[in-house]
Amino acid sequence: MRNTIVHSAMAAIVLTTSLLASEASAGVESVNHRFVQEQFEDYPIMELKFQKGRWNWINSTKTFMPRVELHFTSTTMVGEARLYVEEGAFALWTRPVGKQTKTYEKIITVSIGKTVLSRQLQRARSVCESFGGPEKTVRDLAVDTTFMAAGADDNGTGDDMMASYQPLVMKVVCHSVAANDDRESFGRSVFRFLVTKARF
């Protein structure tokens, strides 16, 4: 009976110690981001037109300003937080230097222009090669983004990091192919075959 009581007490001590250690080492607890979905949000639109045998990006000088909601909570000060596009790791937002905080929740506006969108050009061309034609076509294209927050754990023994992953959905506009466009090149680009032999 005495041994049972001793073992139970030891088990309780081990469990309590584990819980305390877990709480003490806790750092970043939650990280989330969400692109605002409202009617007039300024999301990226890549417009392509078929010219001289290929789909050309015709609005490459335009900059778009969508809004995104950022949120993180931590038991320790967050030393680094940033939102970036996965492909190319291009930063859309970075926590200002000297603004360490344990919590952050705000809707911000990010700038997305040629630097970011040029990395999506090949994918946009593939969309138009598949779906472009005599009528203007509009398709969605998802661009992967990451929001991360990092800081030291409560023990100061190492960095603690957590991240959120969300797609930025942009539009690809494939303008209609006019009658005076290179129809033969267009046909090869879209359908990728030519008739080389016919049998009657």
Per-residue confidence in pLDDT tens, the chain, 200 aa: 544 444 444 444 444 433 333 344 458 999 999 999 988 899 999 999 999 999 999 999 999 999 999 999 999 899 899 999 998 889 999 988 778 889 999 999 999 999 999 999 999 999 999 999 999 999 999 999 999 999 866 565 556 889 999 999 999 999 998 755 654 455 544 444 344 444 44
Cβ(186)–Cβ(129) below 8 Å: no
The answer as to whether 20 is a domain residue is no
The answer as to whether 167 is a domain residue is yes
Q: For residues 186 and 164, what is the distance between their CA atoms, to the nearest angstrom? A: 41
The answer as to whether 8 is a domain residue is no
The answer as to whether 12 is a domain residue is no
Per the structure, how many domains does the chain have?
Answer: 1
Q: For residues 115 and 199, what is the distance between their CA atoms, to the nearest angstrom? A: 51
Q: For residues 200 and 19, what is the distance between their CA atoms, to the nearest angstrom? A: 81
The answer as to whether 175 is a domain residue is yes
The answer as to whether 18 is a domain residue is no
Q: Is the dihedral of CA 183, 186, 190, 191 positive or negative?
A: positive
SS3 96: coil
Q: For residues 191 and 183, what is the distance between their CA atoms, to the nearest angstrom? A: 12
Predicted local distance difference test score (pLDDT) of residue 97: 75
Q: Which domain holds residue 97?
A: 27-191
Predicted local distance difference test score (pLDDT) of residue 79: 86
The answer as to whether 199 is a domain residue is no
The answer as to whether 200 is a domain residue is no
Q: Which amino acid type is present at position 2?
A: R
Predicted local distance difference test score (pLDDT) of residue 88: 82
Beta pairing class for 54-57 and 45-51: antiparallel
| C-alpha Rg value of the chain to the nearest Å | 26
Predicted local distance difference test score (pLDDT) of residue 179: 58
Residues 112-150 as b/e (b if ≥16 CB within 10 A, e otherwise) read beeebbeebbeebbebbbeebeeeebeeebebebbbbbb
